Structure 1
Amino acid sequence: MKRIVLIRHAKSSWSDPALDDVERPLNKRGRLASPLMGAWLVELGITPDIVWLSPSTRTRETWRRMRETAGGPEGQVHKALYMADPDTMLNILRSSGDGDTVALVGHQPGMGAMARKLSNGKISTTCARAFNHYPSAAVAVLEAEVGKWSGVKFGGCSFKHFAAPKDLV
């Protein structure tokens, strides 16, 4: 079995209009939400073996702060994750090699679309929210009954968990 963790970056700052989008950091709310979501992963007993990061400052900072409570690797920047569509994310997952749990830290609308496309359609109402609105710092967990990452496919995963920061406070 393989586990997929889809993480949308936490709330970012728009305070400096001169910054390129890729350079925007987290704002105060995002800095507080990230470790909270990391603690939620700990409660679920989930620690990623591999973490792929969009090159944006806000995704890298989100994972760095989540990792303070969740543990796991530093993460590897994958340029293609910046504003990636589900097909791109699936290709990244399929190239993940070893490890049973892979996290993708990226952006909307890609995260919501990826959760929807991976899901086999059998989801709880709590998890279904991910399809309509995937808030900042939200995390979805899906499982695929495959032996290798190359076997992960759209429609072939079970949706297990979904939460956003406001669900936990």
Structure 2
Amino acid sequence: MKRLIFVRHAKAETWDGEKNDFDRQLASRGQNDAGIMSTVLLKANLRPDLIYSSSADRAFQTAQIFAEKLSISPGKVKKKDDLYEDVTTSDILEIISTSMESIKTLMIVGHNPWISDVAGTMSDSYDDIIPTCGVVVLDFKVDYWDEVLPGNGSLKLDDYPKNYR
């Protein structure tokens, strides 16, 4: 079995137009929410072997919080510039199909609208918008990453921080 964990970055500081959108940092609420949601994954024993994150600051900070809480070594958190914007299901399939087969669970941290679109396309039942720091976990009954196909992911978890406030 292969598992994908999609995480939308946590709440970022308000964009005032002066700072580059790419460089926005997590707000304190975002930091807190990332801690909450990583604890949800920890309690459900949903721990990734590898994390791919958008290289935007807010996404990578989210990935780092998850990694720390889930005891994932920093070397297993990889920035990917091509996860910032205009990401398609084909892009994600390309990324996961080149993942090592020893990886059973892969986390992808990114941005809306594409992360919701891709999660919905990959799932057999998920069709919603992932809120900030929301988590969608999909299981695929396959042995190899290149067998992961759109519509074949079974929804294991759909959760977000507001459920815990």
- The reply to whether TM is greater than 0.5 is yes
Which residue of structure 2 aligns with residue 162 of structure 1?
Answer: 158
SS of residue matched to 2:17: coil
Contact kept? 2:120, 2:128, Cα under 8 Å: no
Which residue of structure 2 aligns with residue 105 of structure 1?
Answer: 109
Which residue of structure 1 aligns with residue 83 of structure 2?
Answer: 81
CA distance in 1, matches of 2:69, 2:157: 18
CA distance in 1, matches of 2:107, 2:59: 12
TM-score calculated relative to the size of structure 2: 0.92
CA distance in 2, matches of 1:99, 1:76: 14
TM-score calculated relative to the size of structure 1: 0.90
C-alpha displacement of 1:42: 0.4
Which of 125, 128, 131 is the aligned partner of 1:132? 128
What letter is aligned with 2:135? V
Which residue of structure 1 aligns with residue 39 of structure 2?
Answer: 39
Contact kept? 2:11, 2:132, Cα under 8 Å: yes
What letter is aligned with 2:82? A
Contact kept? 1:120, 1:157, Cα under 8 Å: yes
Could you tell which deviates more after superposition, 45-54 or 9-18? 9-18
C-alpha displacement of 1:16: 5.0
Which of 125, 131, 146 is the aligned partner of 2:142? 146
Could you tell which deviates more after superposition, 158-167 or 12-21? 12-21
What letter is aligned with 2:123? S
1:115 aligns with 2:93: no
What letter is aligned with 2:78? Q
Percent identical among aligned pairs is 28
1:16-67 residue CA offsets vs partner (Å, 9 max, x unmatched): 5322111111111101111111100001101110110101000110011122
Which residue of structure 1 aligns with residue 52 of structure 2?
Answer: 52
CA distance in 1, matches of 2:58, 2:107: 16
SS of residue matched to 2:11: coil
CA distance in 2, matches of 1:86, 1:20: 26
What is the alpha-carbon root mean square deviation over aligned residues? 1.4
Which residue of structure 1 aligns with residue 20 of structure 2?
Answer: 20
C-alpha displacement of 1:167: 1.1
Gaps of 5+ in 2: none
